[in-house]
Amino acid sequence: MLNQIVTKIAQKEFARALKFAEGSSVELPFCNDNQERMLYIHIPFCEELCPYCSFHRVRFAEEPGRKYFQALMNEIKIYREKGYKFTGVYVGGGTPTVLIDELAMMLQYVRDNFAIREISVETNPNHLTPEKITILQQAGVNRLSVGVQTFDDALLKKIGRLEKYGSGKLIAEKLENIQGCFDTVNADMIFNFPGQTPLVLKNDLDILLRLQMQQITFYPLMVSTITQSLMDQHIGKVDFSRERKLYKQIAGMLEREYVFSSAWCFSRKKSKNTMIDEYVVDYDEYAGLGSGAIGYLQGICYANTFDINQYIELLHHNKLPLLASRTFARADRIRYDFLMKLFSTKINIDALEQKYDGKFLKTLWKEMIAFMAAGAFRYFAPNLCLTARGRYFWVIMMREFFIAVNNFREFCRRQAGIF
Ligand SMILES: C[S@@+](CC[C@H](N)C(=O)[O-])C[C@H]1O[C@@H](n2cnc3c(N)ncnc32)[C@H](O)[C@@H]1O
Ligand code: SF4
């Protein structure tokens, strides 16, 4: 019951928060501070498209791919000229490693222009070849995040990945071969696929534990409006009422050897690097570069065009490819920080009070009382920490946040003529 209330409130809040104003007047301000920001770069190409995925991606072709990387370089240059300084890079997709030579050149360009401390790149199991791994190491990649989803062959077949990426056994072997090649190797997993029983999930967890993965991100299956019909055809109906039990199973099995880097990201105890998929947790602000990327800079949340040709064309003329934006009022910024920062499972209240001139708790008192009454937090001064129950509430809220973002992406993709 409480979970349904949290779901409903989150749905309403995020639908409101993600109402962007469209138009060509969208502008990004210059930057004259030294705040550490993250550079998110989106590569929207995949060799094969998975039916459950609602990220912005199209089928890969070499020619537009190369032009796209060229456009990215121009976009990076514009941000530098506007005065932004980045210390972390996250390259997501799609599949960023489809054109590894271009990726390496782009990362070199970023490192030449900013004092970068950490680089994270997403990839798929087919790209874990010795050649590509060496190029990624030489490019300074600290964290490689591999899309696994599950090791169960029947489920891999159902989600259209068995033929593309091979059996669970083969994927596990590939992961084993790259252990130690980067500060962090992360496996991206999904739970709550239709037909994914607790036994199937237990086998996945056993394999991850045997591999001693440094980091595991277990996403709850997130279904947006268009993926829903594709899912219905290929995979089946999603039953959200099973989610909590499966999440408890994951947390219960991993908690002995892993710490929570976020409510759904588990980092092996004693591992030295904890960069995670959700850069929104670690960085107050991030720039979004690439077609369909979303950024949050100086209180402005914005999205780039989803039309890849238009993206390339605009940057060819050195114009930022902005599609829509929304300037967050202070109360929105506080709520956004509260949601994102607490996803890491704890927040420092004193630091947030200072950041918001003593207005943090005054703005959020209703939410605080409601979550306290529901047993979501414990306060160990100066930190507010999520309890086990609170961690699941945050899984629900972040799931709904990403579904709202995915719905926005789908709307924009349709506008751009991509289905
Ligand atoms: C954008 S993908 C990039 C990884 C790479 N392209 C691959 O699939 O191997 C990053 C991760 O997002 C997760 N993901 C994609 N669609 C999802 C969905 N509908 N619900 C939950 N997680 C999803 C998957 O775990 C995926 O590996
Ligand atoms: S899950 Fe990865 S490979 Fe599949 S479509 Fe999404 S981004 Fe591409």
In ligand 1, which atom is closest to the CA atom of 165? Answer: 9
Give 365 Cα–ligand 1 centroid separation in angstroms. 35
Residue 44 CA to residue 12 CA, distance in Å, equals 29
Nearest CA to 400 out of 1, 2, 15 is that of 15
- Give the Cβ contact number of residue 198 at 10 Å: 11
Substitution site in 57, 155, 224 for ligand 2 pocket (most atoms within 8 Å of beta carbon): 57
Do the Cβ atoms of 345 and 260 come closer than 8 Å?
A: yes
* CB 91 less than 6 A from any atom of ligand 1: no
Residue 286 CA to residue 347 CA, distance in Å, equals 19
E-state strands within 263-381: 265-268, 286-289, 294-297, 300-304, 322-327, 346-348, 377-380
236: left (phi over 0), alpha (psi -120 to 50) or beta: left
The predicted structure's pLDDT at residue 411:
77
Residue 183 CA to residue 148 CA, distance in Å, equals 19
Give 42 Cα–ligand 2 centroid separation in angstroms. 13
Substitution site in 45, 49, 190, 265 for ligand 1 pocket (most atoms within 8 Å of beta carbon): 190
With a Cβ cut-off of 6 Å, ligand 2 is lined by 46, 49-50, 53, 55, 57, 93-95, 124, 147
Do the Cβ atoms of 211 and 176 come closer than 8 Å?
A: yes
Residue 16 CA to residue 404 CA, distance in Å, equals 10
Residue 16 CA to residue 401 CA, distance in Å, equals 11
Cα angle for residues 70, 72, 78 (degrees, 5° grid): 115
Give 189 Cα–ligand 1 centroid separation in angstroms. 8
Name the token pair of 409.
């992406």
The residue whose C-alpha atom lies closest to atom 4 belonging to ligand 2 is: 50
Share the mean pLDDT of the chain. 90
Nearest CA to 383 out of 352, 347, 411 is that of 347
Give 317 Cα–ligand 2 centroid separation in angstroms. 30
pLDDT tens-digit map of 310-343: 999 999 999 999 988 888 889 988 988 898 888 9
Residue 71 CA to residue 65 CA, distance in Å, equals 10
Task: With both helix axes pointing from N to C terminus, report the angle between 330-342 and 2-17 in degrees, rounded to the nearest 10.
Answer: 130
Residue 99 CA to residue 58 CA, distance in Å, equals 14
Cα maximum dimension of the chain = 56
* CB 95 less than 6 A from any atom of ligand 1: yes
Domain annotation for the chain: domains and CATH numbers: 20-281 (3.80.30.20)
Residue 220 CA to residue 146 CA, distance in Å, equals 16
* CB 122 less than 6 A from any atom of ligand 1: yes
18-52 burial code (b ≥16 CB/10 A, e <16): bebeeeeebebeebeeeeebbbbbbbbbbeeebbb
Q: Which amino acid is at 285?
A: E
Do the Cβ atoms of 293 and 43 come closer than 8 Å?
A: no
The predicted structure's pLDDT at residue 182:
97
Instruction: Indicate the DSSP class of residue 149.
Output: E
121-138 burial code (b ≥16 CB/10 A, e <16): bbbbbbbbeeebbebbee
pLDDT tens-digit map of 191-203: 999 999 999 999 9
The residue whose C-alpha atom lies closest to atom 2 belonging to ligand 2 is: 94
Residue 414 CA to residue 419 CA, distance in Å, equals 6
Q: Looking at the CA of 145, which ligand is closest?
A: 1
Residue 18 CA to residue 155 CA, distance in Å, equals 33
Q: Which residues of the chain have pLDDT under 50?
A: 24
Give 159 Cα–ligand 2 centroid separation in angstroms. 11
Torsion of CA 326, 409, 141, 208, to 10 degrees: 120
Q: How far out from the chain centre does Cα 168 lie?
A: 23
Residues 6+ apart with CB under 8 A from 180: none
Nearest CA to 215 out of 239, 242, 179 is that of 179
The predicted structure's pLDDT at residue 407:
79
The predicted structure's pLDDT at residue 237:
87
Q: Looking at the CA of 47, which ligand is closest?
A: 2
